[in-house]
Amino acid sequence: MSSPEGIRPRRGFSRRRLLGYAGAGAAGAVGFAGGMGTARATDGPAEDPVESYSFHGAHQAGITTPAQDRVHFAAFDVTATSRAELVMLLKAWTSAAAEMTQGREVGDGTPLPYDAPPGDTGEALGLPPSRLTLTFGFGPSLFRDADGKDRFGLAERQPAALRRLPHFPADALRKERSDGDLCVQACADDPQVAVHAIRNLSRIAFGSAALRWSQLGFGRTSSTSTTQATPRNLFGFKDGTANLKAEEPTAVDEHVWVGADDDPRATWLAGGSYLVARRINMAIEPWDRTSLREQEQLVGRDRQVGAPLSGGKEFSEPDFSLKGSDGQPLVAVTSHVRLAHPTQNKGARMLRRGYNFTDGNDDLGRLDAGLFFIAYVRDPRTQYIPMQTKLSRDDGLMEYLEHTGSALFAVPPGVRKGGYLGDALLAR
Amino acid sequence: MSSPEGIRPRRGFSRRRLLGYAGAGAAGAVGFAGGMGTARATDGPAEDPVESYSFHGAHQAGITTPAQDRVHFAAFDVTATSRAELVMLLKAWTSAAAEMTQGREVGDGTPLPYDAPPGDTGEALGLPPSRLTLTFGFGPSLFRDADGKDRFGLAERQPAALRRLPHFPADALRKERSDGDLCVQACADDPQVAVHAIRNLSRIAFGSAALRWSQLGFGRTSSTSTTQATPRNLFGFKDGTANLKAEEPTAVDEHVWVGADDDPRATWLAGGSYLVARRINMAIEPWDRTSLREQEQLVGRDRQVGAPLSGGKEFSEPDFSLKGSDGQPLVAVTSHVRLAHPTQNKGARMLRRGYNFTDGNDDLGRLDAGLFFIAYVRDPRTQYIPMQTKLSRDDGLMEYLEHTGSALFAVPPGVRKGGYLGDALLAR
């Protein structure tokens, strides 16, 4: 199978088309370098339009995109010391992301010597794009290190809202699950495709950035579109019923996308968002020994249907004023649904995009499992932080929750054709 | 939503039918107790016959069943000290497995007080059966503890082949990822369904057995049916091309199912099998820096198509005698495909059923990832052990592999209606 020339052609076909491919022809080669790598080697349409999302656009994909079934989330520490190296990394990531989200191999079109490592690690060969989206963010530490030093000449453009999240009551954060200079959220319907993407981005980053922490999630816990049924979290309850949905563009504009005038120091972030990531361990075994009555009181909804305990169906608005025969509110004062409701939070809403996770078990046989919370907000200072401050203090569910990881990232707007991730911040 | 009687009906409908269900009616209640829990509350056929497999049969499901996409594998330590308690656990597991594999809730049909914990943890409500199979096994330590003590009066019926696997060269086993008294392999196309099953079995085991270790896998690395395409492992290569397939019943009888006369001490195992589990970490980053030539030489197949380097297509038999112009065999002497081939192993074959895994990363940013190897064999002493002894010593791939977990289990035959897991061993 080795060619005598020591060259093995690898072209810009989709991975799926390569299934029947065995080495002939040389048409369609497309260069990798220069941050341009979005041209399709073939002019035909995508094989299945619902299978892939464009990497380019006004906003990054993976935010209002209907939530895929799986996530592989990764945070990186930048080891490069010059802005030029950082820009090179972001350009290379841009090219690779544009390829992989279309189901193409990394570096496709570039014939590589047989004695070089393959351009793509290969485990997604033959798999469709699986609705892969790759969403990138910048952490506060990219702008200033722990000593306040301006690492890449970006400090004066650090958004005012991009600070490490405050310590919330009952936080039990682990350093090795928190923070990071850069992040990538890889969502796909096939975990092998999501893992392949993070692995190849890590590989491309070699020498410029190193994986700091990563998290796999397997069951989306929120819908981001009215076309999706509400999934269940590991407490067995529907989660995200009241989530912001892509079909509410006015609300998304108001609560998710950073506006052009939001922060005069960070106009580069207009059209972007903030990503809050929290690894929330659930005390599975104690929860499973709790009565259904107690569970529903803590959540404020019934388990079967997801209706508020004040009555109605899943999407009925809770009535916080209704009281039972005992004179107590039907939706308890300390219930999660009440404390998190916009009417109790000055109208604040979030676009949630979390996933369930299970990472084995501890020495006592307890599952290391819970919710990998992801939310996109326009301003964490008025949305996530005040809400979580209240939840951490008052939410009865907190007895069963432990926040073990935390990070905040500024998510730049989408990449224009010919541009690269964060170019409005980095190019000048 | 709470009923004034403090009773909430939960019935034997499939989880999916419950989607539109909101509390009325009381038909179809089916008792839980007694190890019988397999009657359907409704007499109609399953909603989608390809969505579920019966838990009952001559052999356990989940062995020759076409490999599902995901696995959650769990090993348990039995904490019960009497055989009666062990039997109770296995009966309860039998009932729950028969329910969950059909997409029903655990304990369905039994109305529970509202002030009791729910019978089922709930996170799979609304999800289809997702081809869930639950496959159970008994470890050597169930028969004798570390001091050789007969724990449950079963020692004289311990199969001769059921011993801890020997130490192989280069093993780097971790205790907390190895061994166990009992195991459950939960395979499904939806990881939430597999995780739900292990969680509910763990919950049922509370007080009788505790989770010892568990492993999630996300991409099957073998086909067990000719109807399935060969998947790829995290080295980017097709894996399991030469695997035993369900469509070879004679070979399956010869290599997988324990025969009635195989072991006079363990006639209870006839129709069962042995399950070898190995957690094999892959050195992802060094591999990704290896040339394609080197990778293909180590594997003995080309990466794109999966054909042996002696030529042909994926399913062509390798020709170990063919030499290249340099006088060396085209399929190298130390290549994986040669060392693992039946002709090099006295005809031994295995039914492999492994999965890729990724469990985060270490402090240096290296992925904790690899292959969770599962194989079913009729006798590990003539199949897995000699082959792995040779591979551990000679396989060039071993430079990129580290075995970090290991276990061997005897997998009893399938459960007859009215019977329970392992009844031929335990009832007398």
Confidence of residue A262 (pLDDT cuts 50, 70, 90): very high
Cβ–Cβ below 8 Å for B292 and A361: no
With CA atoms as reference, the chain B residue closest to A69 would be B190
Q: Which of A18, A215, A288 has the most B C-beta neighbours within 10 Å, making it the best mutation to test the interface with B?
A: A288
Distance, CA of A256 to CA of A423 (rounded, Å): 21
Cβ–Cβ below 8 Å for B304 and A21: yes
Q: Could you tell me if residue A418 is left (phi over 0), alpha (psi between -120 and 50 degrees) or otherwise beta? A: left
Sign, Cα dihedral of A204, A205, A208, A210: negative
| Mean local confidence (pLDDT), A34-42 | 28
Specify the pLDDT at position B9: 37
The torsion defined by the Cα of A224, A226, A229 and A231, in degrees rounded to 10, comes to: 20
Q: How far apart are the first and last CA of chain A?
A: 48
Residue B364 class from Cβ within 10 Å (0-12 exposed, 13-18 middle, 19+ buried)?
exposed
Residue pairs between chains A and B whose CB atoms are closer than 8 Å: 218
Specify the pLDDT at position A242: 86
| Mean local confidence (pLDDT), A60-75 | 96
Above pLDDT 90, what percent of chain A?
82
Contact B400, B282 (CB under 8 A): yes
Specify the pLDDT at position A5: 38
To the nearest whole angstrom, how far is the Cα of A213 from the nearest Cα of chain B?
6
- Residue B327 in tokens: 């006088």
In the predicted model, what is the mean pLDDT of chain A?
A: 89
Distance, CA of A309 to CA of A301 (rounded, Å): 5
Confidence of residue A240 (pLDDT cuts 50, 70, 90): confident
To the nearest whole angstrom, how far is the Cα of B213 from the nearest Cα of chain A?
6
Specify the pLDDT at position A69: 92
* Nearest residue to B272 (alpha-carbon basis) of B101, B55, B422: B422
- Partners of residue A121 in chain B, C-beta under 8 Å: 234, 236, 288
| Nearest Cβ partner for A218 among B191, B202, B288 | B191
* Nearest residue to A130 (alpha-carbon basis) of A184, A71, A75: A71
Specify the pLDDT at position B428: 67
Cβ–Cβ below 8 Å for B364 and A210: yes
* Nearest residue to A212 (alpha-carbon basis) of A220, A202, A204, A222: A202
To the nearest whole angstrom, how far is the Cα of A253 from the nearest Cα of chain B?
32
To the nearest whole angstrom, how far is the Cα of A47 from the nearest Cα of chain B?
20
Distance, CA of A395 to CA of A388 (rounded, Å): 9
To the nearest whole angstrom, how far is the Cα of A6 from the nearest Cα of chain B?
9
Q: Which of the residue ranges A267-276, A279-288, B1-10 would you say has the lowest mean pLDDT?
A: B1-10
- Partners of residue B124 in chain A, C-beta under 8 Å: 232
To the nearest whole angstrom, how far is the Cα of A112 from the nearest Cα of chain B?
9
Specify the pLDDT at position A110: 77
Instruction: Give the start-end residues of each E strand in B181-315.
Output: 182-188, 209-217, 219-220, 273-282
Q: Is the pLDDT of residue B419 over 80?
A: yes
CA-CA distances (angstroms) from residue A130 to A60, A63, B219, B356? 17, 16, 14, 18
| Mean local confidence (pLDDT), B247-266 | 97
Q: Which of the residue ranges A14-28, A113-127, A218-232, A259-273 would you say has the lowest mean pLDDT?
A: A14-28
Distance, CA of A150 to CA of A172 (rounded, Å): 29
Confidence of residue B16 (pLDDT cuts 50, 70, 90): low
Residue of B32 and B373 predicted with greater confidence: B373
Confidence of residue B92 (pLDDT cuts 50, 70, 90): very high
Specify the pLDDT at position B220: 83
In the predicted model, what is the mean pLDDT of chain B?
A: 89
- Residue A85's H or E segment, with its range, is helix A83-100
Contact B133, B246 (CB under 8 A): no
Q: Is the pLDDT of residue A47 over 90?
A: no
| Mean local confidence (pLDDT), B44-48 | 38
Q: Is the pLDDT of residue A96 over 60?
A: yes
| Mean local confidence (pLDDT), B186-202 | 97
- Residue B253's H or E segment, with its range, is helix B249-255
| Mean local confidence (pLDDT), B371-390 | 97
Above pLDDT 90, what percent of chain B?
83
Residue A197 class from Cβ within 10 Å (0-12 exposed, 13-18 middle, 19+ buried)?
buried
Specify the pLDDT at position B5: 38
- Partners of residue A215 in chain B, C-beta under 8 Å: 360
Cβ–Cβ below 8 Å for A202 and B18: no
Distance, CA of B17 to CA of B47 (rounded, Å): 9
Q: Which of A16, A218, A302, A362 has the most B C-beta neighbours within 10 Å, making it the best mutation to test the interface with B?
A: A218
Cα atoms in the Cβ-side hemisphere of radius 13 Å centred on A21: 20
- Residue B297 in tokens: 């030489």
Residue of A107 and B385 predicted with greater confidence: B385
Specify the pLDDT at position A1: 36
| Mean local confidence (pLDDT), A77-83 | 97
| Nearest Cβ partner for B360 among A115, A206, A214 | A214
Distance, CA of B12 to CA of B25 (rounded, Å): 12
Q: Is the pLDDT of residue A14 over 80?
A: no
Instruction: Give the start-end residues of each E strand in B218-350.
Output: 219-220, 273-282
| Nearest Cβ partner for A236 among B122, B195, B237 | B122
- Partners of residue B288 in chain A, C-beta under 8 Å: 117, 121, 199, 203
Q: Measure the CA angle with vertex A345, ends A340 and A348; round to 5°.
A: 95
Cβ–Cβ below 8 Å for B122 and A72: no
Sign, Cα dihedral of B296, B301, B307, B310: positive
Q: Is the pLDDT of residue A349 over 90?
A: yes
Instruction: Give the start-end residues of each E strand in B324-381.
Output: 351-352, 355-361, 367-377
Above pLDDT 70, what percent of chain B?
88
Q: Is the pLDDT of residue B44 over 80?
A: no
- Partners of residue A184 in chain B, C-beta under 8 Å: none
Specify the pLDDT at position B385: 98
- Residue A44 in tokens: 């035909």
Q: At what angle do helices A83-100 and A191-205 cross, to 10 degrees?
A: 150
Q: Which of B199, B304, B322 has the most A C-beta neighbours within 10 Å, making it the best mutation to test the interface with A?
A: B304
| Mean local confidence (pLDDT), A194-218 | 97
| Mean local confidence (pLDDT), B185-199 | 97
- Partners of residue A292 in chain B, C-beta under 8 Å: 8, 112, 114-118
HEC string of A108-141 equals CCCCEECCCCCCCCCCCCCCCCCCCEEEEEECHH
Confidence of residue A27 (pLDDT cuts 50, 70, 90): very low
Q: Which of the residue ranges A46-55, B19-28, B166-175 would you say has the lowest mean pLDDT?
A: B19-28
Distance, CA of A21 to CA of B76 (rounded, Å): 46
- Partners of residue A315 in chain B, C-beta under 8 Å: none
| Nearest Cβ partner for A195 among B295, B358, B366 | B358
CA-CA distances (angstroms) from residue A137 to A162, A410, B390? 11, 5, 47
Specify the pLDDT at position B109: 64
| Nearest Cβ partner for B236 among A112, A121, A293 | A121
With CA atoms as reference, the chain A residue closest to B295 would be A117
Report pTM.
0.90
- Residue B385 in tokens: 């052990």
Specify the pLDDT at position A109: 64
| Nearest Cβ partner for B117 among A190, A206, A288 | A288
With CA atoms as reference, the chain A residue closest to B215 would be A360
Q: Is the pLDDT of residue B42 over 80?
A: no
With CA atoms as reference, the chain A residue closest to B284 would be A199
Q: Which of A174, A184, A192 has the most B C-beta neighbours within 10 Å, making it the best mutation to test the interface with B?
A: A192
Residue of B17 and A288 predicted with greater confidence: A288
Cβ–Cβ below 8 Å for B367 and A117: no
Q: Is the pLDDT of residue B1 over 80?
A: no
Q: Is the pLDDT of residue A158 over 70?
A: yes
Q: What is the pLDDT of residues A356-380, one digit of tens each?
A: 999 999 989 999 999 999 999 999 9
Cβ–Cβ below 8 Å for A358 and B304: no
Confidence of residue A16 (pLDDT cuts 50, 70, 90): low
What is the residue-wise DSSP string for B67-116?
Answer: PPSEEEEEEEEE---SHHHHHHHHHHHHHHHHHHTTTBPTTTT--EETTS
Q: Is the pLDDT of residue B46 over 60?
A: no
Q: Which of the residue ranges A78-87, A314-323, B136-145, B240-249 would you say has the lowest mean pLDDT?
A: B240-249
| Nearest Cβ partner for B284 among A22, A199, A285 | A199
Residue B287 three-state SS: helix
- Partners of residue A203 in chain B, C-beta under 8 Å: 285, 288
Cβ–Cβ below 8 Å for B291 and A116: yes
| Nearest Cβ partner for A360 among B21, B192, B215 | B215
- Partners of residue B290 in chain A, C-beta under 8 Å: 117
Cβ–Cβ below 8 Å for A292 and B210: no
Q: What is the pLDDT of residues A163-204, one digit of tens each?
A: 999 999 989 999 999 999 999 999 999 999 999 999 999 999
Other CB atoms within a 10 A radius of the CB of residue A58 amount to 10
- Partners of residue A311 in chain B, C-beta under 8 Å: 1
Cβ–Cβ below 8 Å for A291 and B117: yes
